[in-house]
Amino acid sequence: MDWQSLSERVKAGETGAIARAISLVENNFTGAATFMELLDLSTGIPVIGITGPPGAGKSSLVNELVAFWLSQNLKVAVIAVDPSSPFNFGALLGDRLRMSGLFTHPHLFIRSLSSRGSLGGLSASIIETIDIFKHAGFDRIVVETVGVGQSEVEIAGVADTTVVVMVPESGDEVQTLKSGVMEIADVFVVNKSDREGATRFASYLRERTQSGHGPHPPVIETIATQGKGINQLSEAILSQHSSIENRGRKYLLMAEKLGRILARRRMADFNMQEESVKLEQLANKPGFNLYVYAKTI
Ligand SMILES: Nc1nc2c(ncn2[C@@H]2O[C@H](COP(=O)(O)OP(=O)(O)OP(=O)(O)O)[C@@H](O)[C@H]2O)c(=O)[nH]1
Ligand SMILES: [Mg+2]
């Protein structure tokens, strides 16, 4: 494998090379770790996480944002984390982009990642995939995840600007919203603002986010299906991003990323299948202790 030439082709923005690099890294192909060391990871490129409850309109919003940024002649990469959950009643992001005719746009690259089989939900290689996109010169990198359970909190460690999408009806649930979700949002969106109660819910959210000290995330009302509020949303995302860049949080995010890279490295030669075979031999022996065994690995 000529990693140097692959790196150069990715940097030139060759679609085939980008796809190849991602799958080699995903599959932990020998040498892939060294390949990551060749990348030019200029900072300042916004990585935008879009999360929120199932069906809130995340894919519809991503579709509109992508169209908006492409129209500004920007290069956009999108990662759709396949929820593999029973909650998926909206169309998948890929289908939506296909319908809007953007799917084959030369400045757009879409990657679907399965959330299955990884610890904690997000695919383990998501950070590397994002860095390959940075090297390839994308101007905007978007990650859509469904916020069920831990995943919305996790996305905050991967994206540098997190957008939490809600709908007017979320008003009833917001009391019960885990406080974690309130804390990770850099931007709140009240989508489906064509529905009743949107203004009321948006003001309620504003009240809640403007109180107290610390950052005050803006609340943007949108109607994704009519392309309304997209301009404002884009502005809010970019202005939050530059303020994060200017605060110390940038380095906190970097440390979180470092933690993930190290965790992935340490887990690299851990083979669940092999271990289960070994455990079958060991576990029934008297005095077996998983913690003691863990130290031998
Ligand atoms: N009325 C109204 N419907 C919308 C709006 N935005 C999205 N929808 C509809 O809501 C449904 C779900 O939209 P998606 O964009 O697939 O939502 P999602 O959050 O990506 O869904 P999952 O990925 O399955 O969690 C679709 O039928 C959309 O057409 C909006 O602003 N107003
Ligand atoms: Mg979706």
pLDDT confidence bin for 119, thresholds 50/70/90: very low
Q: Which residues pair with 82 in a beta bridge?
A: 114
Q: Judge whether 297 lies within some domain.
A: no
Q: Judge whether 272 lies within some domain.
A: no
Element (H, E) at 209: helix 198-210
Query: Residue 14 belongs to what domain range?
Result: 1-39
* 17 and 72 in a common domain: no
Q: In whole angstroms, what is the distance from residue 113 CA to residue 146 CA? A: 12
Task: Report CA(85)–ligand 2 centroid distance (Å).
Answer: 11
* 181 and 140 in a common domain: yes
Element (H, E) at 254: helix 249-267
pLDDT exceeds cutoff 80 at 33: yes
* Strand ranges in 85-226 using DSSP code E only, listed in sequence order: 108-114, 140-144, 161-166, 187-190, 219-221
* 224 touches ligand 1 (CB under 6 Å): yes
Q: Are 188 and 164 in contact (CB under 8 A)?
A: yes
* 234 touches ligand 1 (CB under 6 Å): no
The domain total for the chain is 2
Residue 114: give its domain's CATH number.
3.40.50.300
Q: Are 38 and 4 in contact (CB under 8 A)?
A: yes
pLDDT confidence bin for 263, thresholds 50/70/90: confident
User: Pocket of ligand 1, candidates 60, 201, 228: which has the most ligand atoms within 8 Å of its Cβ, to mutate?
Assistant: 60
pLDDT in tens, 167-187: 998 876 665 455 667 778 899
* 228 and 106 in a common domain: yes
* 124 and 186 in a common domain: yes
Give the atom of ligand 1 at the shortest distance from the alpha carbon of 90: 16
Q: Judge whether 169 lies within some domain.
A: yes
Q: Are 61 and 68 in contact (CB under 8 A)?
A: no
Q: Which residues pair with 221 in a beta bridge?
A: 190
* 91 touches ligand 1 (CB under 6 Å): yes
Q: In whole angstroms, what is the distance from residue 288 CA to residue 273 CA? A: 19
pLDDT in tens, 64-116: 999 999 999 999 999 988 655 444 555 667 777 777 778 788 999 998 876 55
pLDDT exceeds cutoff 50 at 117: no
* 151 and 7 in a common domain: no
Among candidate residues 208, 226, 247, the one where a domain is terminated: 247
* 187 and 156 in a common domain: yes
* 19 and 145 in a common domain: no
* 72 and 19 in a common domain: no
Q: Judge whether 164 lies within some domain.
A: yes
- Tokens 């290069």 locate to 75
Q: Judge whether 276 lies within some domain.
A: no
Ligand 1, atom 8, residue with closest C-alpha? 57
The predicted pLDDT at position 229 comes to: 98
Element (H, E) at 11: helix 3-11
* 229 and 112 in a common domain: yes
Residue 257: which of 118, 81, 129, 165 has the closest Cα?
129
pLDDT exceeds cutoff 80 at 203: yes
* 91 and 76 in a common domain: yes
pLDDT exceeds cutoff 60 at 273: yes
Q: Judge whether 138 lies within some domain.
A: yes
* 150 and 35 in a common domain: no
The distance between the two most distant Cα atoms of the chain, rounded to a whole number of Å, is: 67
* 90 touches ligand 1 (CB under 6 Å): yes
Give the atom of ligand 1 at the shortest distance from the alpha carbon of 55: 21
Task: Report CA(104)–ligand 1 centroid distance (Å).
Answer: 22
